[in-house]
Amino acid sequence: MSEVSIGRRKEKCENCTKQCSKKQSDGEVSSHQEGEQVNGQENEGSQLLLSACLSCDGCLSEEESLKISQQNLEEMERVLALNKKCDVTKHRVLVASVCPQSLPFFAVKFGVDIVEAAGKLCGFLKSLGVQFVFDTTLAAGFSIIESQKEFIQRYRRKHHDSHALPMFTSSCPGWIRYSERILGSLVTPHICTARSPQQIMGCLVKDYFSKQQKLNADKVYHMVVAPCFDKKLEAVREEFYNSLLESRDVDCVLTSGEIYYLMQQKKVSAEDMDSFPLDHVLGEAGDTALVRHEGRGSDGFLEHVFKYAAKELFGLDVHEITYKTLRNRDFQEVTLERDGETLLQFAAVYGFRNIQTLVHRMRKGRVPYQLVEVLSCPGGCLSGRGQAENETGGRVDKQLLQQMEEVYSSLPVALPEVNPTLQTLYQDWLQGQDSQPTCKLLHTQYKNQSQSPLQTPHMQW
């Protein structure tokens, strides 16, 4: 998430500003400001990360803090160690799901192409004792398809539902946290209910895959490799815990940087790693082809929904999207026009500074967009703080980020709606696209947790 200077707090989100100001006035300077390690990363004393701020005790309950603290390398190694002991009742099948935005990090670090990096990462994880390694692009496909369907539904009821538009994307946990805790009713009714790719992958592993393996969900330990620390926060949300099965959809999130640190600890180089193909969630043999969705280093929700809506609502085929840069490269918009009339207007808003601008316009009722793709990290998911910081911590490594962007863009683009595996899973796992299991397993709700609800202005969309 966005890096901010303690001396320039006005650039931070409102809650972080209030909480950190209160802590300092009480003489309780956070350890994040003392240059101590946060999530395995060293912070400079003069810098504060919003990702660390969202995880401080001013924003989290004690229970949440405890659950997040358990998502670390030691916990994963504890589970692996139990599997080596004779008591089979404590054995668990380890499954790792790797976000596609994490793979470019390993490709750059290993000095290989992205396909080879995926194979080596898979080989390293399996050498530790992980039995299955999946790519979460499939889950992102589910999330995109469900977001497309929801946007069409919202657009068609916009005249009698003031909360229908704009629709905000829901894949970024930093943005969701800020919306629920600070913005409240101004934003939460507008958030797309489709689960994030991470949490859909959690359902896929703990519900579908565990049944295919004839295992109870609590016998599967599901770890996600992600570029962002805030994905840890998402994994511990109460709606993603099944009390009957006593199992979380995602048991542990480790960042790309944490996995690379483990490699260094074990003194394993890229040359030493065996290469294994990624596993197929349907259990089919053969390599899983690596693809990406359209978008600038993220999962491409804006572009996919834009093209789908243009066809579904107006019968127009859009092959290429032209972005118009507004304030900066992290605040851009795309427009669909016909005969001089604007039919659709979407925006991509990345980073908390731009999010603040968006919120300010919302309060004044001046948001012309039907959909906004919101990500808390400037530059998108590739620049997540779990992988894009320089070695001293605190600042984004621009050269590394540029290399990752080039690697990520080398992957072929695929449309999720024509993915045969997705269509098979919709039928075999979810009993159809409009079924009750689809609604239950692929969607969630976002709640107003703000203590001072904001008055929603009248807005014309």
CB of 179 closer than 8 Å to CB of 449: no
Euclidean distance between CA atoms 406 and 11, whole angstroms? 29
Rounded alpha-carbon distances, angstroms, from residue 288 to 108, 204, 280, 366: 21, 17, 6, 45
Is pLDDT above 90 for 30? no
Give the pLDDT confidence of 181-205 residue by residue, as tens digits. Answer: 888 888 999 999 999 999 999 999 9
Is pLDDT above 50 for 213? yes
Q: What is the pLDDT of residue 70?
A: 76
Q: Are strands 167-168 and 371-375 parallel, antiparallel or unpaired?
A: parallel
Q: What is the mean pLDDT of residues 207-224?
A: 93
**DSSP tally for the chain: helices H, then strands E:** 17, 15
User: What does the buried/exposed string (b/e) look like for 349-380 if buried means 16 or more CB atoms within 10 Å of the residue's CB?
Assistant: bbbbbbbbebbeebbeeebebbbbbbbbbbbb
Euclidean distance between CA atoms 103 and 122, whole angstroms? 11
* Listed range (58-72, 111-125, 146-160, 443-457) with the worst mean pLDDT: 443-457
* Listed range (338-342, 343-347, 440-444, 454-458) with the worst mean pLDDT: 454-458
Q: How many CA atoms lie within 13 A of 115 on its CB side?
A: 8
Give the pLDDT confidence of 401-412 residue by residue, as tens digits. Answer: 999 999 999 999
Backbone dihedral angles phi then psi of residue 344, each to the nearest 5 degrees: -140, 145
Which residues have CB under 8 Å from 338's CB, separation 6+?
314, 316
What structural domains and CATH numbers belong to the chain?
64-139+197-283 (3.40.50.1780), 142-195+293-417 (3.40.950.10)
Is pLDDT above 60 for 343? yes
Q: Which of 21-25, 149-153, 348-352 has the highest mean pLDDT?
A: 149-153
Q: Give the residue among 73, 98, 94 at the shortest CA–CA distance from 84.
A: 94
Query: At what angle are helices 114-128 and 256-265 packed, to 10 degrees?
Result: 60
Q: What is the mean pLDDT of residues 328-357?
A: 92
Q: What is the pLDDT of residue 61?
A: 65
Bridge partner list, 133: 96
Looking at 134-196, list the stretches that DSSP marks H as alpha helix, in order from N- to C-terminal side.
137-156, 173-178
Q: What is the pLDDT of residue 247?
A: 86
Q: What is the mean pLDDT of residues 284-305?
A: 78
Q: What is the pLDDT of residue 256?
A: 95
Q: What is the pLDDT of residue 40?
A: 38
Sign of the Cα torsion 11, 14, 20, 26 reads: positive
pTM for this prediction: 0.85
